[in-house]
Homo-oligomer: A and B are copies of this chain.
Amino acid sequence: MSTAIASLDTPAALIDVSRMQRNIQRMQQRMGTLGVRLRPHIKTSKCLPVIQAQIDAGASGVTVSTLKEAEHCFTAGISDVFYAVAIAPGKLPQALALRRKGCNLSVLTDSVSGAQAIVAFAQQHDERFDVWIEIDCDGHRSGLAAEDDSLIDVARILSEGGMQLRGVMTHAGSSYELDTLEALQALAEQERLLCVRAAERIRETGMACPEVSIGSTPTALSALNLEGITEVRAGVYVFFDLVMHNIGVCQADELALSVMTTVIGHQQDKGWIITDAGWMAMSRDRGTQRQRQDFGYGQVCTEAGDWIEGALVTGANQEHGIITLGAAGSDDLVARFPIGSRLRILPNHACATGAQFPDYHAVDADGAVHTWSRLHGW
């Protein structure tokens, strides 16, 4: 343990930089092999050094979940930004302001009225927005079905309204519910087929639909064929987490985000270790609750990062975590995990846990620690 890590106040969010770099390389190389561009979703890290590492590795632009992220990226010199949430009409002035500053911001819609709002605002301000249409490939959330009659209406409203129809996009969010390679491959193929089909339907009418964008970390790492796809969006692969581990798309030694915590007490009778990483540090995300293995609020590791098999954060109050040791046995709890000793917790969901912290502590292979700030709010 380096002095730098040992002197961190807890709770602290640590990034293992070597693992992060390997994760970035892995996804980038895979996309290269499959012949598509990678547009990472930066909502996971919301952190410029992480995003820059993705760009340096070959990413083509970024995906964002808020206009604040878009602004942040643009200020750092990243101008190809896709705001991949159907835009609320009230946010169009902010999107316009970004474009007027030179940001190549593209926006998203999945409805006739959404498209009409974009066109009306754009015409009022003499702007030609780059617009994507969202496709629903798995019933998970938003988007138009590939065969929906409205798809052509939306494309026509945008094209005839003078917008640049950038393409179609989808997100197979239901991949988070799977955990076999066969099911993931099947969903990845469904995601590809339906998004390509939507693009073809638009093209059949004579309108241009240059881009076909898909993505989720599980499907991106499972797809065998991305014919017809131009780009993939994925986010959580940069850190991975226990949800991804349960799905089966990463190994334990690829988990790059952890929370350092200090033991502050015990309830020996109950087999509890009390720590200073409660839900304010871990988040309330219980993403593994219905998966193959329920990790509670996180997998407990030694300070150095080695898994303590069976040890989980099974309870969380605001600033108190409760660890139970399970198979690791609770004899001599107090002696084995004395007050003041440290543990590291692997989170269920890197996007949610990261969001609880104003900064990450990025740990290099040599133990040096850098403080990397992250965005908060909208």
Interface residues of chain A, those whose CB is within 8 Å of chain B, are: 9-12, 43, 65-66, 85-91, 94, 110-111, 113-114, 117, 136, 139, 141-142, 173, 262-267, 270, 274, 276, 279-280, 283-286, 315, 317-320, 322, 334, 338-340, 351-352, 355-359, 376-378
Contacts and interface: CB of A to CB of B under 8 A. Distances in A.
Contact of A43 (B88, B173, B318): B318
12 contacts: A43-B319, A65-B318, A65-B319, A86-B274, A110-B265, A111-B339, A113-B334, A114-B265, A141-B315, A279-B285, A284-B286, A358-B377
Contact of A317 (B173, B265, B283): B173
A219 B298 CA distance: 30
Contact of A9 (B91, B110, B262): B91
Nearest to A12: B378
A352 B262 contact: no
A315 B9 CA distance: 35
Contacts of A94: 9
A28 B86 CA distance: 45
A262 B318 contact: no
Contact of A89 (B12, B320, B339, B355): B339
Given A9-B94, A43-B318, A114-B339, 17 more contacts: A9-B91, A11-B378, A65-B280, A65-B318, A85-B319, A88-B276, A88-B339, A89-B339, A110-B265, A111-B265, A111-B339, A113-B334, A279-B352, A284-B285, A355-B356, A356-B377, A358-B377
Contacts of A9: 90-91, 94, 378
A170 B164 CA distance: 62
Nearest to A357: B377
Contact of A90 (B139, B280, B315, B340): B340
A272 to B, nearest CB: 8
A315 to B, nearest CB: 8
Q: How many copies does the complex hold?
A: 2
Given A284-B286, A317-B141, A117 B339 contact: yes
Contacts of A11: 378
A113 B274 CA distance: 14
A140 to B, nearest CB: 8
A86 B319 CA distance: 10
A355 B113 CA distance: 33
Contacts of A87: 264
Contacts of A141: 274, 315, 317, 320, 322
A186 to B, nearest CB: 22
Contacts of A283: 283-284
Contacts of A358: 376-377
B267 A90 contact: no
A376 B89 CA distance: 30
A95 to B, nearest CB: 12
B340 A89 contact: yes
Contact of A88 (B10, B352, B355): B10
Contacts of A264: 85-88, 114, 142
A336 B264 CA distance: 52
Contacts of A142: 264-265, 267, 274, 320
A174 to B, nearest CB: 11
Nearest to A176: B317
